């Protein structure tokens, strides 16, 4: 079984440009393995820093984490991002979403009507060349989403789209694929 190879170099703290190393060390301090996506971004320190800051600021916004995950799932499905979907299956579960809710989010839906309304707005945003229909904006406001939360939702669409573009452009392999191939080779 041949492991997919990234078009961009997947860096670690030993091969990354010096200006990327502090962010990589911070990412590794939380334990676990460095995601291939982050390893790719490390090849461009300004891009890695911009992504880390954007993501960090959005994490501290007013949009609930489970809603952030629903948006990311919907965007990854819409953009057919294998990497994004694989990663989000785990993080969405960590955010408390069940398998049924994950499946619904991938279809821009939710059993929670308030989230469902926001996801319909997100879908229209992604599918339209212009502004989403006004009635979807008004429905989201009537459902209790604030302007601030709707703007954060738009920012989450942009963040997820960026990640999906990078993983597609680089043909970035799924996380753990290198370790899996090593285990197969050793067998």
Q: Is the pLDDT assigned to residue 94 strictly greater than 60?
A: yes
Q: Is the pLDDT assigned to residue 184 strictly greater than 70?
A: no
Q: Is the pLDDT assigned to residue 185 strictly greater than 80?
A: no
- Which pLDDT band, with edges at 50, 70 and 90, does 177 fall under? low
- Per the structure, how many domains does the chain have? 2
Let me know whether 96 and 157 are in one domain.
yes
Residue 75: inside a domain:
yes
Buried b (16+ CB within 10 A) or exposed e, 41-65: bbbbbeebeebbeeeeebeebebee
Question: Is 70:115 a contact under the CB 8 Å cutoff?
Answer: yes
Let me know whether 28 and 71 are in one domain.
no
Give the residue numbers spanning the domain of 135. Answer: 65-164
In this predicted structure, what is the pLDDT of residue 126? 97
Let me know whether 37 and 69 are in one domain.
no
Let me know whether 135 and 56 are in one domain.
no
Residue 184: inside a domain:
no
Residue finishing a domain among 60, 80, 98: 60
């Amino acid at each position: 079984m041949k492991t997919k190879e990234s078009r961009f170099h997947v860096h670690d703290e030993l091969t990354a440009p010096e200006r990327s190393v502090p962010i990589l060390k911070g990412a590794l301090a939380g334990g676990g393995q460095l995601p291939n996506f982050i390893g790719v971004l490390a090849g461009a320190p300004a891009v890695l820093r911009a992504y880390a800051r954007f993501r960090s600021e959005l994490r501290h916004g007013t949009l609930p984490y489970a809603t952030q995950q629903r948006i990311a799932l919907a965007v990854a499905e819409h953009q057919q991002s294998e990497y994004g979907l694989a990663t989000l299956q785990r993080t969405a579960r960590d955010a408390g979403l069940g398998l049924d809710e994950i499946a619904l989010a991938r279809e821009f839906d939710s059993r929670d009507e308030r989230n469902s309304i926001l996801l319909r707005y997100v879908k229209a945003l992604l599918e339209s060349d212009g502004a989403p229909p006004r009635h979807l904006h008004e429905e989201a406001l009537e459902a209790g989403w604030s302007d601030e939360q709707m703007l954060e939702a738009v920012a989450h669409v942009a963040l997820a789209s960026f990640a999906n573009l990078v993983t597609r452009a680089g043909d970035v392999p799924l996380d753990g694929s290198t370790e899996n191939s090593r285990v197969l080779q050793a067998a």
